Amino acid sequence: MNILIVGSGIVGLSTAFELALAGKKVTVVTRNYEEGASWVAGGMLAPLSEGLEGELLEFSLENLRLYPDYVSRIEEVSKIKVFFEKEGILRLGVDEEEMELIRKRAEVYSRMGLKVETLEKGDLRNIEPAISEKVEGGVLHHEEGNVDAEKLMDALLIGVGNLGVRIVVDEVVEVERRNSRVESVKGLKDRYSADFFVFATGSWSKSLLKLPVFPVKGQILKVKGPEPKKVCYSKASYIIPKEGFLLIGATSEEAGFDTRNNLKGVGTLIDGAVRVMPSLGEAELIDVKVGFRPATPDGKPVFEAGENFATLTGHHRNGILWAPISAKMVLDLIEKGVRSRYFDLFSPSRFEG
């Protein structure tokens, strides 16, 4: 069975990886395999810190459970070690209002059986002594994790190469679709046919697939400096320790596809990080990265399964977290004919009319 995947972000590559591992012949068509949100992502696996609820939370927790095996498979095939840990994220309350919000959420999560620990000022600084005295407190979400998204993308690219996936650089400009069948896909260089098509086109889905997906620009800083033990997430900033460096994120701007960083964004990120962890004032700024989250009007992803195609887009702030199940949904559909209920829960039909 020949499968054509359009898009080489984490969702496209994870799908290519799982299908190729299952013995399928896979081609990925991408405009630029270094483009896209995944290369810029903070890599926090943080649905509780993000305050998700309902079906999005359920979907996220299912992804979190699959993450260790997903990373192991990619490491094994690529022979690349990916920094990944699942030792919890500290959700901070930088003022009373934020503390009140996270305390209430923690009660709800706790009633759901999730492992959350509310920390008052003193307890917080026992865990992270570098946190400012002004921070009110925090909640430790034990189940959350942290992955180096850039390393994961490197490993996926090498991994799919090792599995014989062909990567073609071309810009897809048209999907020739008849009802629920895709006939072919037209690029600037060539026309592509396949037995099954997957569209994982992230922020670029609107013109190609006529879906209400729009880019939300994020600027993120890469710095070298004193590292907290855990991700410190607050409304002021998120400070994300990796191996040997830190990421400080992230702005959220509706600015179309403007790839430039700006001093306003960078300044806000630095102020937010130093407010939470004053010692970061001494850190060295290594890089400013800019990416585009594929957002939807209701903050939910868009999944569609047609006769011979699947669409996986609109992952907005959680593409890294939601990649394992996104890929698995296509694998289950093709291998077992099992249609995940997430295709119905997050169907594009919700935008019709």
Nearest approach, Cβ of residue 293 and ligand GLY (Å): 5
**What is the rounded CA–CA span in Å between residue 259 and residue 336?**
41
Residues, the chain, total? 353
312 three-state secondary structure: strand
> Phi and psi at residue 255, in whole multiples of 5°?
-135, 30
Nearest approach, Cβ of residue 321 and ligand GLY (Å): 8
Nearest approach, Cβ of residue 157 and ligand GLY (Å): 22
Position with the least CB separation from ligand GLY:
317
Q: Which is nearer to ligand GLY, 241 or 249 (CB)?
A: 249
> Phi and psi at residue 340, in whole multiples of 5°?
-60, 145
Nearest approach, Cβ of residue 291 and ligand GLY (Å): 9
Nearest approach, Cβ of residue 14 and ligand GLY (Å): 17
Bridge partner list, 182? 177
User: Looking at this protein, which amino acid is placed at residue 346?
Assistant: F
Nearest approach, Cβ of residue 218 and ligand GLY (Å): 5
Q: Which is nearer to ligand GLY, 42 or 265 (CB)?
A: 42
In 3D space, the residue among 307, 278, 294 whose CA is nearest the CA of residue 12 turns out to be: 294
In 3D space, the residue among 63, 114, 83 whose CA is nearest the CA of residue 247 turns out to be: 83
Nearest approach, Cβ of residue 89 and ligand GLY (Å): 11
Q: Which is nearer to ligand GLY, 121 or 222 (CB)?
A: 222
Q: Which is nearer to ligand GLY, 31 or 317 (CB)?
A: 317
Q: Which is nearer to ligand GLY, 45 or 185 (CB)?
A: 45
Q: Would you state the structure tokens that stand for residue 48, as one six-digit string?
A: 């509780």
Contact 201, 208 (CB under 8 A): yes
Nearest approach, Cβ of residue 272 and ligand GLY (Å): 12
**What is the rounded CA–CA span in Å between residue 183 and residue 25?**
18
Contact 138, 119 (CB under 8 A): yes
- Contact partners, residue 123, CB within 8 Å, separation at least 6: 137
Q: Which is nearer to ligand GLY, 26 or 273 (CB)?
A: 273
Nearest approach, Cβ of residue 37 and ligand GLY (Å): 8
Q: Is the dihedral of CA 293, 297, 303, 309 positive or negative?
A: negative
- Contact partners, residue 331, CB within 8 Å, separation at least 6: 15, 18, 19, 22
Q: Which is nearer to ligand GLY, 152 or 198 (CB)?
A: 152
Tell me, rounded to whole angstroms, the distance of Cα 140 from its chain centroid. Answer: 21
Q: Which positions touch ligand GLY (CB under 6 A)?
A: 42, 44, 218, 249-250, 293, 317
Contact 300, 56 (CB under 8 A): yes
Q: Which is nearer to ligand GLY, 198 or 220 (CB)?
A: 220
Cα angle for residues 56, 57, 62 (degrees, 5° grid): 100
Q: Would you state the structure tokens that stand for residue 187, as one six-digit string?
A: 């690029």
Q: Which is nearer to ligand GLY, 12 or 42 (CB)?
A: 42
Q: Would you state the structure tokens that stand for residue 33, as one six-digit string?
A: 């395999």
